[in-house]
Structure 1
Amino acid sequence: MYEPIRSKSVHALAGRGQNPGQDFPHRSREEELDIQLAGHLAALLAVTDELRAVVPSGDLADAAEQLAAEIARLRGGESPVRSAVAAAIHEPYLAGLHRRAHALAGRALVVAASRADTAAAILAAERMDAHTAALRDREPAGAAQ
């Protein structure tokens, strides 16, 4: 009724080499955290570039350069891809970008703290503060109760 399986399981094959269980590349916990942190910072950089396209500011430009430098450090010198966004963005979308950037900075902060990367943790915390301040400045006068 069913055709029998003719090949060995990939799990069985993995243990057959000279070093059982070592037939495929492994990454250390630190390498995995570096990859994860670089990903969060790259996403934050993309949102920062998007915000810079709408509301150019020296603070956002400085933050983007710091983020790019930190990503390059984590990726062994490989520069991140930069976003070039040119669109008319309305106010609620702008607030959404700040909220997204705040959340991404928070994720980066958690990973940076778990890998004891002080520079990345400080940068992420500064970005969280900046986006919190930007959201507070955009809040209607009666809504802050």
Structure 2
Amino acid sequence: MLSIENAVQTLKEKNIRLTPQRHELINILSKGNKHWTVEELYQLLNESMPSVSITTVYNNINLFCELGLVKEIQFGEALSKYEWKKEDHYHIVCSECGEMVDVWYPALKEVEVFAQSISKFDISSHNLQFYGTCSNCEQK
């Protein structure tokens, strides 16, 4: 798993300033297993830094994605969530409330290897999401 220190070092190596906004975003993103929308990150960051703009959050999230610090999880064209970069894993998403849970299952990596062998593509990554209903929504 990527540490805060590794993230700060990556910024330094790329000669990118560690602004207070960037530092706070790194702190927020690196804690827990949460999957954030830009709006959620903006609201949380705005509590401690009221002068921050949503554009700043978008720009920094895009930068973090380019640097490999954060992973974007796309849900069609309208919604993306972001998570701190950790070992490869998959997601289960509740179709009712949108809750997302991480799933680690190393054997699924074999699917990528198989797809590469039959397609002759040089596959750099893949994304797999399962959809269902979480226990909270099932009880409702």
- TM-score scaled by length of structure 1: 0.25
**Max Rg structure:** 1
Normalised by the length of structure 2, the TM-score is 0.25
**Quick check: which one's strand share is greater?**
2
